[in-house]
Structure formats: C-alpha cells, structure tokens
Structure 1
Amino acid sequence: MVHEAFNFPGFVANEDDSSNKDFEGDAEELPYLYSKPSHAARHFEELLEDGEQELYSGCTKFSKLAFLVRLYHIKCMCGVSDKTFEMILELLCDAFKHAKISASLHDAKRIIRKLGIAYKKIDACLNDCMLYQGSDQELSRCKRCGTSRWKQKTRRNSIVWINVVVKKNGKPQAAKVFRYFPLVPRLQRMFMSSKTSVDMLWHKKGPNSDGFLRHQRDGEAWKAFDRRYTHFSGDPRSVRLALASDGFSPFGNLSSRYSIWPVILIPYNLPPWSCMKPSSFLLSMINPGPKMPGNDIDIYLQPLIDELKQLWGGVDTYDASEKKTFKMHAALMWTINDFPGLGNLSGWNTYGGRACPTCNLDAESKRLTFSQKWCFMGNRRFLNQGHRFRQDRVRFDGKVEVRGPLVTLSGGDILRQLDNVHVKLGKVQTEAGKRARGQQAALQDESPCKKRSIFFELPYWEYNLLRHNLDVIHIEKNVCDNIIYTILNDSGKSKNNLKARKDLQLIGSRRELWPREDGKYPTVIFSMSNSQKDVFLRNLKIVVFSDGHSSNISCCVDLQQ
C-alpha cells in the first residue's frame, strides 16, 4: 500500500542530495507531494522502514507496520479504550522482548498518523452559528450570538457565582468540536493504488444500450450532466459522488451525550461489487449535543462545499495505472436521505400542508380533523388520462380529477422562489430564553422554503436534473409496517381505526365504511380473521430468507399473542 501510494520503487536515500536523479524525476511527476519535501520524504522513509521491518526475526506474515495496523483496527472495531490498549501494548512488549512492538499508545498513533487517514478538528459555536476557521480561527466568542467558544464551569466565589473556562494541559477546551474527514486525499488515494485506479474507470466500460436502468449512469440525470459538461465527462477518471446522510448513535446508547450526524460520500465510478465500502468516505462527525435543527447543518457542510469547489476546478493526482499525474475532477450529483433529511439539506419545509417538494406550491392538501394528520388528495393527477380512478367520485374526495401531472421545477425556478428568503443560522431563542425547537422566523410570503440550500454554491447544482433522492428503505419500512398492522387489525397500530372512519364520513367518501352511532364500524374485506392470522403468522415463523435479504423476522412472531 505504501509503495503504491507514494509511487517509489525503493528507499529514498537522502532528501538533501540534489544529485539523485531518481528523486528528481519523482519530484517532477508528483509536485503536490513535494510541496514540503522534507516532511513528505521523512514520513515515507519511516513508513518504508516500518513496512519492511520484520515483526521479529524470521516472521514472514507480519511486518512491524502490518501488525500495528491490524492491532489498531481491532481496537477501533471493538471499542477498546485508550487506557486498555496502552496496557495491552505494555503487556505485549514485556512478553515478547524481541518483537518490534510500539511501547505506548502515543508511539502507535504517531506511526498510524503518517498513513494520512486523520481528520480535522474544527471548533464550532455551541449554538451552531459558525465554525472557528479561516479568518475566524482566533475568535473566542461567536460573532453572531456572542456565545463563548470555550467550555465553562461555574464556581462560587465568596459573594457571587462566576464562570471559569475549563482547561486541559493549560489550554482552553472548546464547547463543541466538529470532526471533518477531508475528501480530496481519499479520492487521490483511490488513484494511487493500481487496483482501485482501474476500478475507477469501470462506469465508462461497456455502456448499457438496451434501455434498462441498471446503474446510475443509465439514468437521464447522469446523461444530461454529461451533455452539459463535456470537459468533465470527457475524462473517464472524473469522479461522480452522491451524498448520503442519516443519524445514528455510535455507542448503541441513545442516552449518550454524544451525537453523530454522519455525512457519507458514495463514489459511483466504482463497480457495485467493489470491496470499497461507502463508509470509508465518512465526511463529518459532530459531537457533543443533540441533533441539529435543519438550517444549522449548512454550517458543518461548508468545508465539504469548499472541497467540492476545489475538485470541480481539478486537483493534481497521481494515477498508478498510467504512471503519471493528471487533473482529477469531481462533482456531487445528488443527495440520498430520508424525508426529514431532505428538508435539512434542500431547505424545503417537509412539515405541514406543503410538505411535498415536487408538488411545491401547487400541493392539494387537507387536514384530517380526527386523525390530526395531513392528507394529500391530488395524487390522481399523475395517472393516465383514461384511468377509471380519475372519474371516481365516491372512493375519493367527491371530485373528478382532470388535471395533468405537475411540471418539475428547474433549479432556476427554485432560486427565484428563494429570492426573499432570509434565514438566521443557529439555534433560535424565544423571549423566555428557551430554544424554540425547529422554529424559524415567519416569512412574509408564507413560502414553504426555509432557506437557500448551501449546495447552490456549487456552480453546477442549479442545472442538475435530480438534486435530492429519498432513501427507499425508510419509506418501504414504514409502508410495510402500516400494511401489516392494518391487515392484522392491531388495536394500537392499525390505520383502520375509528378516527379514520370518522374522517371518511367528514370527507363524504366511502359511505359503506362510516361508523355507526354506537361507535362501532363495519369490517373491511382485507381484515384477517383469527384463523387467517394464525396461518399467516405460522408461515412467518418458519420462513427462511437469503442472507442479507431480511432480518430474523421469525423472532418477532408471537403465536400466543
């Protein structure tokens, strides 16, 4: 890995020896690597030594570097604490005197850090107003809300209570830290390996000509991007990325004070069967604190946007398969998220009567009085003009649907809607001093747009045909739950309940399902009897799926209850 990453056939003898011809040739091919020749050459020299040094005399399976990386990988995967890992290293050193094992955690991290997989720690405002970077790096207070940058604790003086900055080793501790994994080095590393550099050209080989959608390259959004930006699509090494976002608890404990909001980039150049996992492109981790409100995520996406702008212009990268340096370009094609995540990233308000970003301002919504939910009745407009449901008044809202499908708004149309939208980033404070969850200042035109998405800073984002995708897994899971519990007529989770029947009566739809005066309502044809439930659940109890296609659903079935 080290040999391929640095493209050196052997050991670098002396970085100060200007007469070394091999060194001069490599410096010409890799100018970005030798911007600081002493630093890069010294790290490479040390990595080579550790990679070629046997763990102990006669050991052929592990080198000093390989053993340390494997050991540190176990620490990360199993959640071993630093103190425990240090004690393990001390025990190994005592037990195997002749083995080349790091004596301390500090030494181990010093070696691993040279592989270039570190992240950047950026201090953030406690109220998510700004990042302390660039020209703001030396500030001690937020320039928007005035909150202190540092963690504080209260001490009682003889007369008053005072706030004291928390320090560690004489340095003040930040109240909130944002961890960002730089994107450019990891994309460069994919071309520095001879194997993955060939895989990065896979999407251009054997294009699909039968009209079936098997890969994102077969979609209209991909093809339209190619037609518009020929300088980008002309080089098959140009990288196309998708941004996937979702929330998870890293410690398996929802009560933990730490919160991680991961942002993962998926490179579409690689084949689907590639061993490169999307998790290797984790971009950001934010902790501590609760999940951020929708507008605050733009603060933490700014480092990514800056890198994407840099990648659009091109970054010098070494191609191990071609044995030369080229300008690597990369573009963000779209995002993939659940419905609340779509609101956070796109700026559209996904709550209320205009929650659908496709319908936009033309959404036809109705508030269900008894169920206390929003109902969207205009879905028949997407059917074919001759479809019988368009003329069906009884089973819907008593109207005939004659409208055609909606015209998809372009990026320019969305930007025009956002002309008068002004949003103040950070947590909103109420007059009483408490945070109003998810609230933003009311817009004069009552537009459902909460903000101007930060992705519009990218020069090509306005012209992308497809900017945001919904994660189908979330939707299918919710729909499946609702269908199963409704068919089983579960008293607590079925959607076929008294409130739904009263809403049907209020709308004037499906008279045969209206509730009676005594509060009872007729059964529907899809409700299972007890004997049918027994057959259905027994089949679920014994069903066997292929590995990875389903959870162990048999454990979820209780035949007695």
Structure 2
Amino acid sequence: MYFDGAAHRGGAGVVFVTSQGEVLPYSFTLMQLCSNNIAEYQPLILGLEMVVEMKRLQLQVFSDSQLAVNQLLDVLPFASVRVISPHRFCVYEWSYRDKIKCPFPKCGFGKWQRRGIVLDHFICKTFPQNYATWVLHGEINVLQNSGNVEVTQDAPPPENPIELLINEAFRGIGHEGVDVGPSQVVEEEEILNDIPASNNKDFFELLRDGSQELYEGPKHSKLEFLLKLYHIKFLLGLSDKGMTMILDLLRDAFNFAKIPDSFYEAKNTINKLCLDYVKIDACPNDCMLYWEGDANEKTCKYCHTSRWKLNEKRNNNQVSTIGKRKEKNKKKEKKPAKILRYFPLKPRLQRLFMCSKTCEHMRWHVEDNSKDGIMRHPRDSEAWKRFDTIFLEFSSDPRNVRLGLASDGFNPFGTMSTNYSIWPVVLVPYNLPSWLCMKQPNFILSMIIPGPRTAGNNINVYLQPLIKELNELWYEGVETFDSSKNETFRMQAALMWTVSDFPGLDILSSWNTHTGFACPSCNFDTEPCRLRHSRKWYFTGHRRFLSRNHKFRLIRHRFYGNVEEKIPPRKLSGSDILQQVKELDVTFGRPAALNDRRKRNRQRNVGQSATLQWRKKSIFFDLPYWEFNLLRHNLDVMHIEKNVVDKLNILC
C-alpha cells in the first residue's frame, strides 16, 4: 500500500481500494486534490477509471478529511467514498489474527502487534518523518515492471512452533511481552530494554538456536532437534551416558551438522526454556532438608547422620590404611545421600497465562454459564462455593488459580524384586474446563520425593518448599502476564484439597488408617471390631447413615443381630481437628539402621503408639485457608478399585 508521508505529518491522505480488497497504486494528498492545477493528475484519474471499468469493480476511497471527500466526489463520480483514517484502515483492514506489523522504530517496522497497541503507538509516540511509503504491514505489494502491474501478497507472520515456544517462555518479562521471531527485523538493543539483564543472554541464545539450521536444507532447527531428542530419551528411559554416545555417533556420521558435544551441553540449552528444577539435599533418614538456614550443614541436626554418601565397601580396618591416601584428595565432589527434586510452582502457573490458547480457559469456571444442577466440575461442588463466600477477595478475580494435590508411591523398577518407593506430587489446575483439567499435559509436577523407603509420616519434611510457595502465592501473589487481555495482573493461588487412595490418605491427612478407627469421617465415633482368628479389623454400623425411618434399621437377622439406632457421626471442621492435634509433639525421621539383621519387632517412631490416631499435625494446616476448607481430602475411587483388583490377581 503506497501512502504519502504528508498524511503522517498532519496532512490528509487518500487510499484507493477495490471491493475485493485490492489496493491500487495511486495516492493523493489533500493539497494535491485541492490545488488549482488538477489537470496534471488527470492521467491518474483516468487510469483509475479504466481499471475500475475493466475489472467491473466498485472503487472505495478511504480518507480522513471531509474536504478531501468533497473534492473526490467531483473528480471521481464512479467511486464510493468513506471517511476513515488511513491509519485505522491499515489496522483494521490488513490485520492477520488481529495483529499488524507496527511501523515504529522500537518495533523494528516488523514486530507483529495487536491493533490496540499499534493505535496507542500512533497517539503516544512520534511517527518517523522519513517514513513515506507504507509497505511493511502485510498489505498487497504493488510491483511495476515494464508497464505491467503485478500484485503480490506478503506472507503471514511465522508459525514456527519453536519460535512460539521461545516467545511464550519469555513473555510477560517486559511490559508488552517479547513477541519476536528470527524472521522479524528488530534491533537487539531495543529488545534488551524490555527484558531483565539476567535473561538477555538466554533469550538471544535460544532465538539463535531456534533459527539456526541443523545443517543446510533440513526442516528442523538445532533447538527443535534437541527437544525431540530429549523427548525420545524420556519416553524410552535412556540414560545420560547413552544419550551422549548417540550424540557422538551422530556427530561423527554427520560432521557438517551442528550437534552438541555432549548431552550435558544439550540439557543446558533446553534448561534455558525455564524447564529446570531445584535440587534440595535431604537427610537419608527423612529428618530434615538442607535448605534455607540449614543449606550449609554437613550432618543432620536430629540423627547426626552424614549428608553425603559413604563408601559402604570400606570397613573399619580399611579406613585406617586407605583413608591416609585419600586425605590429600578431599577436594573431590561429594554426592548427597538423598535429593529432593522440586519444581518451582510460580513460573509454571505463569506459563498457563502466557499461552494464548490456555489463558482464556483459565476463566472458564466463572464465564461458562452452563449450570444444570449436576456436579460436572469441582466448581459445582459445595466446597468450591463455600470457599468463594469466605474468601471474597480471592474469588473476585477468576484468574486466581485453584489447585488440587495428588500423590502416590510407586516402584520405578516395575515388577522387579527391588523394593523401592518413590512419591511424585502432582498439582491439578481446576480453573480449566472438565475436559481439560484432568488431561496429562495440564498436570503440574511439583516434586519427586526420593526413595528407597516411603516417606510415610515424614512427608511433612518434603512438602515444606511447596507449602512455603503456596503461602507466598496466597499473601503476595506474583505478577503475571495475561496474553488474552494483553495486561499484567497479580495472580494468587490456593490449594483446595488432596486426592489419594486410602493408604495415601493416612500419609497426607495424618489420620492412622491401620487401626480400628480407620474411618476418617467417623473419627472416634465408631465401635472397632476384629475377626476372631485373623485378628483383622472389620467395620459395621453402616446403617446409621440411612434415614431414621428406613426399614433396614429394624432388620436384625441380616445385620449382626441388632437394631441400628445411632445417628450419623458429626462432620469435623478444620477447627475441630486442630483441637485434637494441638497437643501432639512429633519428631520426624527414622531410627538409624542397626547392623544386627536378625528378625525383631517393628520399631515405631517417637510419639507413636498402638492407640494413637493422629500421627502428627498435617503441614497443610500451615496454609491460612486450610482450616476453613469444607473438603480437605478426597479418595480416588478408581485408584482404590485398581488396588483391589491387583491384589485379587495376585491371590488367584
């Protein structure tokens, strides 16, 4: 689209467009139209008339001046004239997915911006005086060659998925985001002004790897190749050493390709996408974490066990002889005995709003009006609605995230004889619709609690980093960029409840499910019974949950020979539970392993006994809202059914 620079400097401009959107290669200014010497522009007017007659199209004229319109009605009777700013014409008529290339130096005359941002730039910023030909906004380019007019269409903005991934990883860092691709003409210094200095190097290195071809002519860039190779590694469970050997083979076979020297180098490149995690050393007996004030400790404060792995092959006699030779080499790096891998929550929640496809779904639980009285989503539950009524400030913004926590132990070695239990902790964002929130790509891995033994009652120790970050998200929040509204807001988050199987309920809620008072709903209001020979617990009294006039309450011969007259137990609130656990004083950790391997009675942790139901005060009560949650722990029925079927298969 050709456009005279006088229009940008305060003059009125005119743009000629056919009814099919074709921009014609003619341009006038208001001064030209109002000049007395109109005859010199007569060939242009005749040319316009011939084009319109030959193509049998209706000509539309866009101008921002009524005076120019009146003049055009006299000289162009065959055209329909609309009064509209040519600036707005370009923004509204030649946008791609609601974006055009912004014609300002800061945007590099090529950065795709939303229409509102471009119009703000017209108002707030000075337009370049030497910009006279408007040809960089996705409009039709007119190329004149040998008297013929050739009309071509600019390509739309790039749709490289790697480029979009980089933009989403670094978006929200500046005020207007970083929406830059390698195909766009942007000065590096101007982008650096919008990105914190700590991320400058990572951003441009990723941008370079994302645009750098693996070798001449392939369809994959270097970064795309590394990401797909990294994906294959985890799908097949390949080791780091095996990946390094594969990279060595590929580099030898294709010496012209830009392949990293080792898997360590490849992993460092991928970690710049903010997909990394934090390693926190832990006591091998689950007593404490070496973090915050204890980050520099060498031994456990409670059991005095070393933080580092010891060489078990040595005995006391070998230490005296071999140890002297090792004294000189103490600079060798020590390996921690146990490591908690924690994935920070804040950047992962921010990423939900960086993706334009997911951002709008995060408000679905409020904006969707399809409510038919059936609980199809947690938002339809009584617990959700009560949380909204208690915490009005939190519920006032639908973008605040509501999370559910799920965890369970499993053996990573499958059916092998190795006894090993590892506990991943997964968070589920319930803001998403019911058909999205339970999909695997939307799960957020929070931490991996290491084995080989189950954390059990000591899970409070490992949940400390998560609880701390949840408290920060509740009290302070975090500045987050909303890509759907193109604005920054303070995002908060709250943990609504946990989800687990029945043994997992014991660990997460701290209620002992291995005694006669195993039911957490009945609490102490139950009568435990044991089988005569196997001494296993069984439970009766289910008829108390029926209505008072139900006929089953009076039947004796089918229900243990008695009439049920009890009423259902009272539901305990969070305050009631806090009253029951306030006197508990539990020291976390396990007793040190003994050298004597003879069979002995099972040892219990400090503070535990056969009749003690509450093992500890749950760490979830450190959250300010947990006491007021109507529903704190959920049972995964499908998970329990699977456990039962697995046991039956083993017995059969």
Match 1:106 to one of 264, 267, 273: 264
Give me the whole-angstrom Cα distance separating, in 1, the residues matched to 2:363 and 2:524: 42
Counterpart in the other structure of 1:3: 167
Cα distance in 2 between the residues matched to 1:6 and 1:212: 40
- Name the CA distance, whole Å, in 1 between partners of 2:603 and 2:408: 18
1:71-110 equivalences under 5 Å are 71-110=229-268
- The aligned residue for residue 358 of structure 1 is 521
Contact 1:257–1:288 under 8 Å retained in 2 = no
Mean Cα deviation higher: 423-432 or 338-347: 423-432
1:235 aligns with 2:397: yes
For 1:171, what is the secondary structure of its paired residue?
coil
Deviations 1:333-381 (A, max 9, x none): 0000011111111110111111111000101221111242212111110
1:214 aligns with 2:413: no
Amino acid at match of 1:149: R
Amino acid at match of 2:274: G
Residue 268 of structure 1, CA deviation: 0.9
Going from structure 1 to structure 2, the CA distance change for 1:86 and 1:42 (only over 3 Å counts) comes to same
Number of the residue aligned with 2:96: none
**What's the offset of the Cα at 1:102?**
1.8
* 1:152 alignment partner, SS class: coil
The equivalent of 1:52 in structure 2 is 211
Equivalent of residue 451 in structure 1, options 588, 596, 616 = 616
Q: Shift of residue 432 of structure 1?
A: 9.5
Q: What is the CA-CA distance between 1:9 and the residue it aligns to?
A: 2.7
Question: 2:272 aligns to what SS in structure 1?
Answer: helix
Q: Could you state the TM-score of these two structures normalised by the residue count of structure 1?
A: 0.77
The Cα shift of 1:58 comes to 2.9
Taking structure 1 as reference, are residues 301 and 422 closer, same or farther at Cα in structure 2, changes over 3 Å only? Answer: same
Task: Supply the AA of the counterpart residue of 2:581.
Answer: L
Tell me if the contact between 1:4 and 1:320 (Cα under 8 Å) persists in the aligned partners: no
Between stretches 79-88 and 323-332, larger displacement belongs to 79-88
Matched, 1:311 2:460: no
Q: 1:163 to 1:127 in 2, by over 3 A?
A: farther
Describe the shift of the 1:363–1:441 C-alpha distance in structure 2 as closer, same or farther (beyond 3 A): farther
In the TM superposition, what is the alpha-carbon distance from 1:279 to its structure 2 partner?
Answer: 7.3
Report the CA distance between 1:251 and its aligned residue: 3.4
2:580 pairs, out of 417, 427, 445, with 417
Matched to 1:247, the amino acid is: G
Question: In structure 2, how many angstroms separate the alpha carbons of the residues matched to 1:105 and 1:168?
Answer: 28
1:213 and 1:436, CA in 2 relative to 1: closer, same or farther beyond 3 A?
farther
| Residue pair 2:428, 2:443 contacting (<8 A) in 1 also | no
**Residues 153 and 163 of structure 1 are in contact (CA less than 8 Å); yes or no, is this contact kept in structure 2?**
no
Q: Structure 1 residue 77: deviation in Å?
A: 1.0
Task: Summarize deviations over 1:532-555 as a string: whole Å, max 9, x none.
Answer: xxxxxxxxxxxxxxxxxxxxxxxx
C-alpha distance in 1 between matches for 2:562 and 2:462: 47
* Distance in 2 between residues matched to 1:334 and 1:455, nearest whole Å: 9
Shift of 1:445: 12
Query: In the alignment, what sits opposite 1:118?
Result: 276
| SS in structure 1 at match of 2:394 | helix
Take 2:463 and 2:444, find their aligned partners in 1: how far apart are those partners? 15
Q: Which residue of 2 aligns with 1:396?
A: 559
**Deviation at residue 452 of structure 1 after TM alignment:** 0.2
One-letter amino acid matched to 1:416: Q
* Change in 2 beyond 3 A, CA 1:401/1:210: same
Structure 2 Cα separation of the partners of residues 362 and 268 of structure 1: 33
- 1:464 maps to a residue whose letter is N
Query: How many angstroms apart in 2 are the aligned matches of 1:112 and 1:300?
Result: 27
Percent identity over the alignment?
52
Q: Does 1:466 align with 2:631?
A: yes
* Structure 2 length-normalised TM: 0.67
Counterpart secondary structure, 1:76: helix
Task: Name the structure, 1 or 2, with higher relative contact order (CA <8 Å, separation 6+).
Answer: 1
Point out the structure with max Rg over C-alpha: 2
Which residue of the other structure, out of 366, 373, 379, is the alignment partner of 1:204? 366
In the alignment, is residue 146 of structure 1 matched against residue 311 of structure 2? Answer: no
By how many angstroms is 1:254 displaced? 4.0
483, 493, 504: which one aligns with 1:320? 483
Measured after TM superposition, the shift of residue 111 of structure 1 is 0.6
Q: 1:304 to 1:188 in 2, by over 3 A?
A: same
2:294 to 136, 153, 158: 136
How far is the alpha carbon of 1:78 from its aligned partner?
0.6
Question: Hey, what's the Cα distance between the residues in 2 that align with 1:364 and 1:183?
Answer: 43
Runs of 4+ in 1 over 3 A off after TM superposition: 11-15, 154-169, 253-259, 272-276, 428-438, 440-447, 477-482
1:302 aligns with 2:302: no
The aligned residue for residue 261 of structure 1 is 423
| C-alpha separation in 2, matches of 1:110 and 1:65 | 12
Distance 1:124 1:231 in 2: 37
Change (3 A) 1:23 1:143: same
Q: Is the 8 A contact 2:436 2:442 kept in 1?
A: no
After superposition, the Cα gap between the structure-2 partners of 1:368 and 1:54, relative to the gap in structure 1 and judged at 3 Å, is same
Task: Give, as a single letter, the amino acid of the residue that structure 2 aligns with 1:223.
Answer: K
Q: How big is each residue's C-alpha offset from its partner over 1:513-535, in whole Å with a ceiling of 9 and x where there is no partner?
A: xxxxxxxxxxxxxxxxxxxxxxx
Q: Say if 1:100 and 1:444 are closer, same or farther in 2 by CA, change over 3 A.
A: closer
Decide whether aligned partners of structure 1 residues 208 and 404 sit closer, same or farther in structure 2, where only a CA change above 3 A counts: farther
